[in-house]
Structure 1
Amino acid sequence: MAEPAGAPARSPGQPAAPRLTGRLEVDTDLGTFLGDTRVRLLEAIDTHGSILQAARHVPLSYKAAWDAVDAMNNLADQPLVARSTGGKAGGGTRLTEHGRRVIALYRAMQAEYQAALDRLSAQFAALPEGDARSFQRLLRRMAVRTSARNQFVGTVCALREGPVDFEVRVRLDDALEIAAVVTRESAETLGLALGSEVIALVKASSLLVFTDAALRISARNQLWGTVARVVDGPVNAEVVMDLGAGRSAVAVVTRDAVAALGLAEGVRACAAFKVSSVILAVID
């Protein structure tokens, strides 16, 4: 391994100074948006035109690959991956031009990132090895992840102040809007204001799914779309709904509910959830 530029010369037999290495991750407070595995998945989709083949190439499970694609599309300002249906091959998956630009930007950032680590490693070369190791452990601890499957990025379009809480409406795009209720203290801590960019988190278990458009329920948030896929489990099933514009919603329902509602790919359905089920986060 070549010595980092600027590293002091060492005598024969002297152990090499620890080199700082790491994987570049584009993170939000809610977890990783882009990382090496996800970028390799995007590159494989561009090469193979198939989620299944791309997942095998990375490697990832088919479900994990789709979950990663859904998460990236939900957090991106434009879809990175588009799905086509029909045709002789039965449809496929392709990378959008925006997805290709994101990959190119990531790879350029990755090169600069490693160069910066090499320079930092050279500065640490004169210090005891333990100091560099402690720094590496600190970097690993700084990563933050979340278990919420549904993550939506939007802007605050309305704020209604109550005696103890705020009703917040978050505009995802021209067609989609989410309502949330947070305490006054939370609103002040987050610095919520009209036009603020926020991320709305909703657990998959908090989503209710129905197909009858005439059904009236009390849940304020109702996102209509089409079922993209159903992943069966021993008792429950995971239902992924395509909301359009590259967005998706994930719900966990019982297998009996899937059968009763006739949930299958292409079926129009609604994912509903209460305002109290939405957690808002901001990125400083």
Structure 2
Amino acid sequence: MTRPALQFSQALGHDAADKRLDILRRIGQVGSISEAARGAGVSYKAAWQAIETLSNLAGQALVEKAVGGSGGGGARLTPAGQRLLQAAELFAQARASVLSRLDHDSPGGIRPADLLGLGLRTSMRNQLPCRVSALESDAARVRVTLDLADGRRLHSRITSESAELLGLVPGLPVIALCKATAVTVADVLAPRPGVNLLHGTVGRISAAQHGSEVSLQFLPGLHLVGFTPAGVALQPGQPAMAAVDESAVVIAVGQ
């Protein structure tokens, strides 16, 4: 059976400084997943999650068992894993060169955070730039508080392993994503535990099979797309509310 080609564009799709790549790099250095996890400051479970995700994206196994290794539980990189790290280094060098050129040519400079969402390709309609404000652990999950550009707050619930691998800390610029179908828009919505409620003004409205598709505007250039329940009629310019479950809010990062 022919081995599938190594998918560099998938595994390196967002950023060459990904913590998952840091874990992979450390495995190559110390020959142990547990030691690599400790060095990267994440749990053993999170390290395995990183390996599995990268392997899925790359389309090939990146780590294999090995005899020995510091701290027991020997592991080593496959040739595909080694090639992926080489590609990551080349990506990092090219990226640094481009940013340096932009900074030199642009009077105000362009920060990496300004380019955060440009590499994302996703079916999720809602992509909101924001910053991490706080993190609150709750058993195996973390509730992340996100500050939008206009001061509004959005919350996301993710696993502790995901928070570790993303390297979430207060002040970190991120992108909050959610499907339009996960957002309910109406003139009045009752607050519920674990659900974000955001107030805005109705902008664009498009008829849909069940309810209407509504673009709720917060500020010029900042809006959220969702759907009204059946029987709810809204008009452009009127105040309205949007509700989205905290667990439906996905967080994307880049550096």
The answer to whether 1:281 aligns with 2:235 is no
Tell me the CA shift for residue 219 of structure 1.
Answer: 4.6
1:55-204 aligned at under 5 Å gives the runs 145-204=121-180
What RMSD, in angstroms, separates the aligned Cα atoms of the two structures?
2.6
Judged with a 3 Å threshold, the aligned counterparts in structure 2 of structure 1 residues 161 and 219 are, in CA distance, closer, same or farther, namely closer
- Quick one: which amino acid aligns to residue 169 of structure 1? T
Contact 1:205–1:253 under 8 Å retained in 2:
no
Q: Where does residue 231 of structure 1 map in the other structure?
A: 206
TM-score (norm 2): 0.51
- Quick one: which amino acid aligns to residue 261 of structure 1? V
Contact 2:213–2:228 under 8 Å retained in 1:
yes
What is the rounded CA distance, in whole Å, between the counterparts of 2:219 and 2:184 in structure 1?
19
The answer to whether 1:269 aligns with 2:245 is no
Tell me the CA shift for residue 29 of structure 1.
Answer: 4.2
TM-score (norm 1): 0.46
Contact 2:150–2:219 under 8 Å retained in 1:
no
Judged with a 3 Å threshold, the aligned counterparts in structure 2 of structure 1 residues 151 and 29 are, in CA distance, closer, same or farther, namely farther
Q: Where does residue 3 of structure 2 map in the other structure?
A: none
What does the per-residue CA deviation read over 1:2-40, in whole Å, with 9 as the maximum and x for residues that have no partner? xxxxxxxxxxxxxxxxxxxxxxxxxx949xxxxxxxxxx
Q: Where does residue 91 of structure 1 map in the other structure?
A: none
Tell me the CA shift for residue 253 of structure 1.
Answer: 3.5
Tell me the CA shift for residue 165 of structure 1.
Answer: 1.4
Contact 1:219–1:274 under 8 Å retained in 2:
yes
What is the rounded CA distance, in whole Å, between the counterparts of 1:159 and 1:167 in structure 2?
6
Contact 1:219–1:272 under 8 Å retained in 2:
no
- Quick one: which amino acid aligns to residue 158 of structure 2? V
- Quick one: which amino acid aligns to residue 166 of structure 1? V
What is the rounded CA distance, in whole Å, between the counterparts of 1:250 and 1:177 in structure 2?
17
- Quick one: which amino acid aligns to residue 141 of structure 2? D
What is the rounded CA distance, in whole Å, between the counterparts of 2:237 and 2:178 in structure 1?
23
Tell me the CA shift for residue 220 of structure 1.
Answer: 2.9
Contact 1:29–1:145 under 8 Å retained in 2:
no
Contact 2:142–2:157 under 8 Å retained in 1:
yes
What is the rounded CA distance, in whole Å, between the counterparts of 2:132 and 2:120 in structure 1?
24
Tell me the CA shift for residue 233 of structure 1.
Answer: 3.0
Gap runs ≥5 in structure 1 = 1-27, 31-107, 113-142
The answer to whether 1:244 aligns with 2:219 is yes
Judged with a 3 Å threshold, the aligned counterparts in structure 2 of structure 1 residues 145 and 263 are, in CA distance, closer, same or farther, namely same
What is the rounded CA distance, in whole Å, between the counterparts of 2:157 and 2:217 in structure 1?
25
Query: What count of residue pairs does the alignment treat as equivalent?
Result: 143
Judged with a 3 Å threshold, the aligned counterparts in structure 2 of structure 1 residues 229 and 189 are, in CA distance, closer, same or farther, namely same
Judged with a 3 Å threshold, the aligned counterparts in structure 2 of structure 1 residues 278 and 249 are, in CA distance, closer, same or farther, namely same
Tell me the CA shift for residue 283 of structure 1.
Answer: 1.0
1:21-60 aligned at under 5 Å gives the runs 29=14
